[in-house]
Chain A
Amino acid sequence: GAGVSQSPRYKVAKRGQDVALRCDPISGHVSLFWYQQALGQGPEFLTYFQNEAQLDKSGLPSDRFFAERPEGSVSTLKIQRTQQEDSAVYLCASSSRDYNEQFFGPGTRLTVL
């Protein structure tokens, strides 16, 4: 079946712009995660949803970052007033309730100029 998809794959934003990154998880997967990965580093947790409930947002770096999953399926990560330090690859992953394996999308590479 279809895997996790993310759009756009690449995004270039001018500093101060708002951006919205979309994630389509695997159909039926209850859990959805967002991670941020800087060049040459491992992923860093941002936030986690179980269905439409955001159960953990402890990794969001500032109040400029906001994530939602209103219907328990598609999720959007929004970054307001982007800064250069926001440049990274943003990864989305989903998993079923009963397993810990996470399935990752290809990521969105955000470059803030």
Chain B
Amino acid sequence: SQQGEEDPQALSIQEGENATMNCSYKTSINNLQWYRQNSGRGLVHLILIRSNEREKHSGRLRVTLDTSKKSRSLLITASRAADTASYFCATVAGRAGNNRKLIWGLGTSLAVNP
């Protein structure tokens, strides 16, 4: 029943490299959120981008919008070993502005090698 798809499903890079993950939905997206989940730990909110925003930055994170592909990408610059985790995109089902359930993608497993 998940509606989002992350691409790639697994990514392995060297420390210092950039990591790009894409999130695609078949339908229009309201706000899009990215979360990180470390092994054995809970989900942590990273960044939220609204449907009327094309790009958003937060520290080493950058989210961009490609309206033609109905996708948004998450870029982590200058990656560190501590960035090793699973990354999930999620969008709000229901009207924007109201708290509603999140529809999740399958996640990208990122490994950053020292």
Chain A contact residues, CB within 8 Å of chain B: 30-31, 33, 35, 41-45, 48, 50, 56, 59, 91, 93, 95, 97, 100-107
A102 with B102, Cβ < 8 A, contacts A43-B43, A44-B1 known: yes
The proximity string for B residues 98-111 relative to A, scoring 1 for CB distances below 8 Å and 0 otherwise, is 01111111110000
- 26 A-B pairs with CB atoms under 8 Å apart are A33-B101, A42-B2, A42-B88, A42-B107, A43-B43, A43-B88, A45-B93, A45-B101, A45-B102, A48-B101, A56-B101, A59-B1, A59-B101, A91-B42, A91-B43, A93-B43, A97-B99, A100-B48, A100-B92, A101-B33, A101-B45, A102-B33, A103-B45, A104-B43, A104-B44, A104-B45
A6 nearest CB neighbor, chain B only = B42
Q: Verify if B31 is at the interface (C-beta below 8 Å from A).
A: yes
B44 nearest CB neighbor, chain A only = A104
Chain A nearest Cβ from B48, distance in angstroms = 6
Which of B45, B99, B107 is close to A30, meaning CB atoms less than 8 Å apart?
B99
The proximity string for B residues 75-114 relative to A, scoring 1 for CB distances below 8 Å and 0 otherwise, is 0000000000000101011000001111111110000000
Which of B2, B48, B93, B105 is close to A101, meaning CB atoms less than 8 Å apart?
B48
Chain B nearest Cβ from A26, distance in angstroms = 12
Residues B38-95 near A (CB distance < 8 A): 41-45, 48, 88, 90, 92-93
A106 with B41, Cβ < 8 A, contacts A30-B99, A41-B106 known: yes
A48 with B100, Cβ < 8 A, contacts A42-B105, A100-B92, A104-B44 known: yes
The proximity string for B residues 11-38 relative to A, scoring 1 for CB distances below 8 Å and 0 otherwise, is 0000000000000000000010101000
Tell me which of A42, A43, A93 has the highest count of chain B C-beta atoms within 10 A of its own C-beta.
A42
Given contact pairs A42-B2, A59-B1, A93-B43, a sample of 13 additional A-B residue pairs in the complex whose CB atoms are under 8 Å apart: A42-B88, A42-B105, A44-B2, A45-B101, A91-B43, A97-B99, A100-B33, A101-B48, A102-B33, A102-B102, A104-B42, A105-B42, A106-B41
